[in-house]
């Protein structure tokens, strides 16, 4: 039947009865494919199905013909024409494809292939010789390693004893020898390019942090309007105009003149952005035995316009939220101890290593751990040298009151430290950690009071002989209040010396990585997890295993701790304070922290 829709003629189609279709499906394959398909193009080769047969290479899958009882899901597909570009998915076609693929995968060598040239033969012989030599070296190393593992390992203490430089020192103990293993970390852990990228990333993060604090300081100081200044309440001329009734000291509230302050009045807090821009930015840290307080990130500002200063704390809440909070409110402060006690802070008082002392009574918002003592000290760790040089050109007053960096007290400290440095170069860890542990135990027994006799007894116990004259001069400098009370940390630093702020910055960074919750103490199990000895020279030379180096470090650290299950900040700092005595170069000391802790 011919159909025509909208002028388009439809091709005639034969209607086959349904019963005949079922009979054809029951027969399996259709024999007359030519009647169902269109004409074969000339470029398509004829498919000879007679050559296909069963072979042993088949995977066992056989063709299962259609049964007459199976329903046909798409009856229209059998009656429609199929073009030559449409792949027919039937088992025989899949089998043919697999057989053709296996023929292509066979590696056949043509008979007319030319022989290889002499240069290629020579290259192949060299390659074969190199492979044999490499395999021979690998076998030798494997045998040596197997023989070494069969022998008992040497302890780290014995490794140190075999070194000729330590044979003559009779004062060394096993703990001293194990502590000296940490001084071997002198190699750089990173490549030059990696180190440059790491430093650039750290500098960028530090600059962003300081910029955020600067913006917060400017916002806090400039948002305080004159109308809310407390000095406005001190004006008495407006009170005289209020209506006064006889017999009443003050007028009733409904008759008082309640108006806003006159904003034209200039007060001392009426600062501008230009006035606040002349400032010196410095970094600081709290000198405290509490690890949580000692690791606070403090950023201070000294303003040249009114000789005032303020200190902010940079805090991070969670992963992405940060905040700059005032730690010391902006004000004019003075020295609370030392030779300049009572004198106002000036520009020359802010330098790297300077101690800024404050009274806890003047700062009620401080944490309770800091309020336990009447004084607290902030050590300046870094300053903006460019800003200081710029401010010095306009500040003539500070030039007259320049501080002497080398006074008599520092000379006395240096003489005592030089006298004891040679003795402490080998046993510095044991001495510094032992002194700190001894003084902390004495403080608990005597309710936090250490007398002059206690310090003398401690020096005698740890074999730190100091003449009576030097001890009296030292005590006179430290006990500036003449109350016979000296903090043992100041006494220890005066006797044994102290790390510079560059080294201490890396010690604090390593501890802050371990104490990620900022609790002030780190469990010993976290120390074991984070300490890495892969880059230790003894491990690289196959003279010791990683476990031996790690156990030597943990043993010396546990000996310095009162509680062997946790490490406080002061104990961690004392350990590296003693280790620092025997390392002269700053970069070598920094590598002793970068290699095992990955900072």
Does residue 102 surpass a pLDDT of 60?
Answer: no
Does residue 522 belong to any structural domain of this protein?
A: yes
**What's the mean pLDDT in 391-412?**
61
444 and 524 housed in the same domain: yes
Rounded to an integer, what distance in angstroms lies between the CA atom of residue 75 and that of residue 72? 6
Rounded to an integer, what distance in angstroms lies between the CA atom of residue 592 and that of residue 425? 16
Does residue 239 belong to any structural domain of this protein?
A: no
510-534 pLDDT per residue, tens: 999 999 888 889 999 999 999 998 8
Rounded to an integer, what distance in angstroms lies between the CA atom of residue 121 and that of residue 142? 32
Q: Look at 66 and 421; give whichever has higher pLDDT.
A: 421
- pLDDT for position 303: 92
415 and 462 housed in the same domain: yes
396 and 452 housed in the same domain: no
369 and 510 housed in the same domain: no
Q: Look at 429 and 251; give whichever has higher pLDDT.
A: 429
Dig out the tokens for 179 from the structure. 């502590």
- pLDDT for position 249: 56
Which residues span the domain enclosing 591? 409-597
List the CATH number of the domain containing 554. Answer: 1.10.238.10
Neighbours of 427 (CB within 10 A): 24
- Total domains in the fold of the chain: 2
- Structural contact between residues 178 and 157, judged by C-beta atoms closer than 8 angstroms: yes
Give how far the C-alpha of residue 541 lies from the chain's centroid of Cα atoms, to the nearest Å.
Answer: 29
447 and 543 housed in the same domain: yes
- pLDDT for position 228: 55
580 and 434 housed in the same domain: yes
DSSP labels, 439-450: HHHHHHHTTT--
- pLDDT for position 267: 54
Picking from 369, 388, 403, the residue at the C-terminal end of a domain is 403
Does residue 157 belong to any structural domain of this protein?
A: no
Lowest mean pLDDT, pick from 3-7, 535-539, 591-595: 3-7
564 and 416 housed in the same domain: yes
417 and 398 housed in the same domain: no
386 and 420 housed in the same domain: no
484-507 pLDDT per residue, tens: 778 888 888 888 888 899 999 999
3-state secondary structure 8-54: EEECCCCCCCHHHHHHHHHCCCCCCCCCCCCCCCCCCCCCCHHHCCC
Picking from 363, 378, 403, the residue at the C-terminal end of a domain is 403
Does residue 97 belong to any structural domain of this protein?
A: no
Rounded to an integer, what distance in angstroms lies between the CA atom of residue 187 and that of residue 587? 9
Does residue 383 belong to any structural domain of this protein?
A: yes
Does residue 441 belong to any structural domain of this protein?
A: yes
Does residue 453 surpass a pLDDT of 60?
Answer: yes
State the pTM of this model: 0.63
- pLDDT > 90 in the chain, percent: 17
- Structural contact between residues 440 and 450, judged by C-beta atoms closer than 8 angstroms: no
398 and 414 housed in the same domain: no
438 and 371 housed in the same domain: no
Does residue 303 belong to any structural domain of this protein?
A: yes
Average pLDDT, rounded, for the chain: 75
Dig out the tokens for 270 from the structure. 């009426």
List the CATH number of the domain containing 355. Answer: 2.30.29
Q: Look at 481 and 532; give whichever has higher pLDDT.
A: 532
Picking from 403, 438, 465, the residue at the C-terminal end of a domain is 403
Rounded to an integer, what distance in angstroms lies between the CA atom of residue 263 and that of residue 403? 42
Does residue 10 belong to any structural domain of this protein?
A: no
Does residue 252 surpass a pLDDT of 70?
Answer: no
Q: Look at 91 and 146; give whichever has higher pLDDT.
A: 146
292-347 pLDDT per residue, tens: 899 899 999 999 888 999 999 998 877 778 889 999 999 999 999 877 888 999 99
- pLDDT for position 220: 86
278 and 388 housed in the same domain: yes
Q: Indicate the pLDDT class of residue 382, thresholds 50, 70 and 90.
A: very high
Q: What is the dihedral of CA 142, 144, 149, 150, to 10 degrees?
A: 110
């Amino acid at each position: 039947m011919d159909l025509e829709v909208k002028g388009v003629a439809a091709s005639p189609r034969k209607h086959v009865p349904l019963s005949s279709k079922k009979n054809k499906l029951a027969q399996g394959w259709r024999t007359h494919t030519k009647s169902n398909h269109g004409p074969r193009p000339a470029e398509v080769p004829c498919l000879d199905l007679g050559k296909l047969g069963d072979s042993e290479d088949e995977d066992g899958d056989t063709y299962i013909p259609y049964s007459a009882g199976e329903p046909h899901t798409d009856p229209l597909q059998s009656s429609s024409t199929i073009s030559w570009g449409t792949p027919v998915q039937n088992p025989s076609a899949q089998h043919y494809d697999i057989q053709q693929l296996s023929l292509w995968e066979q590696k056949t060598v043509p008979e007319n292939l030319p022989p290889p040239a002499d240069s290629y033969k020579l290259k192949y012989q060299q390659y074969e010789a190199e492979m044999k030599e490499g395999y021979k070296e690998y076998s030798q190393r494997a045998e040596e390693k197997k023989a070494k593992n069969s022998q008992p390992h040497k302890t780290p203490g014995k490794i140190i004893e075999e070194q000729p430089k330590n044979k003559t020192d009779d004062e060394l103990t096993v703990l001293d020898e194990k502590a000296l293993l940490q001084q071997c970390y002198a190699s750089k852990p990173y490549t030059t390019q990696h180190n440059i990228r790491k430093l650039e990333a750290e500098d960028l993060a530090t600059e962003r942090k300081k910029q955020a604090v600067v913006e917060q300081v400017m916002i806090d100081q400039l948002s305080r309007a004159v109308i809310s200044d407390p000095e406005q309440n001190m004006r008495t001329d407006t009170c005289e105009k209020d209506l006064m009734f006889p017999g009443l000291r003050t007028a009733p509230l409904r008759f008082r003149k309640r108006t806003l302050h006159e904003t034209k009045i200039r007060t001392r807090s009426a600062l501008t952005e230009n006035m606040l821009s002349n400032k010196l930015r410095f970094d600081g840290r709290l000198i405290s035995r509490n690890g949580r307080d000692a690791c606070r990130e403090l950023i201070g500002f000294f303003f040249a316009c009114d000789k005032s200063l303020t200190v902010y704390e940079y805090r991070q809440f969670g992963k992405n939220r940060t905040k700059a909070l005032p730690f010391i409110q902006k004000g004019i402060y003075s020295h609370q101890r030392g030779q300049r006690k009572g004198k106002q802070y000036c520009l020359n008082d802010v330098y790297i290593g300077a101690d800024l002392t404050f009274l806890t009574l003047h700062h009620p918002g401080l944490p309770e751990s800091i309020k336990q003592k009447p004084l607290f000290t902030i050590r300046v760790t870094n300053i903006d040298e460019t800003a200081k040089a710029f401010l010095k050109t306009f500040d003539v007053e500070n030039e007259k009151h320049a501080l002497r960096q080398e006074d008599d007290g520092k000379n006395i400290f240096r003489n005592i430290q030089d006298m004891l440095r040679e003795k402490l170069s080998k046993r510095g860890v044991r001495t510094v950690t032992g002194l700190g542990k001894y003084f902390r135990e004495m403080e608990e027994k005597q309710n936090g009071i250490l007398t002059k006799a206690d310090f003398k007894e401690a020096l005698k116990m740890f074999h730190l002989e100091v003449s009576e004259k030097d001890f009296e001069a030292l005590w006179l400098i430290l006990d500036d209040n003449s109350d016979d009370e000296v903090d043992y940390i100041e006494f220890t630093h005066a006797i044994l010396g102290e790390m510079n702020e560059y080294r201490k910055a890396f010690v604090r960074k390593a501890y802050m990585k371990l104490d990620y919750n900022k609790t002030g103490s780190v469990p010993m199990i976290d120390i074991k997890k984070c300490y890495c000895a892969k880059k230790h020279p003894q491990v690289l030379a196959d003279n010791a295993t990683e476990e031996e180096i790690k156990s030597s470090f943990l043993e010396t650290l546990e000996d310095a701790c009162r509680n062997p299950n946790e490490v406080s900040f002061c104990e961690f700092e004392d350990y590296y304070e003693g280790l620092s005595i025997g390392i002269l170069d700053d970069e070598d000391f920094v590598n002793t922290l970068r290699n095992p802790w990955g900072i």
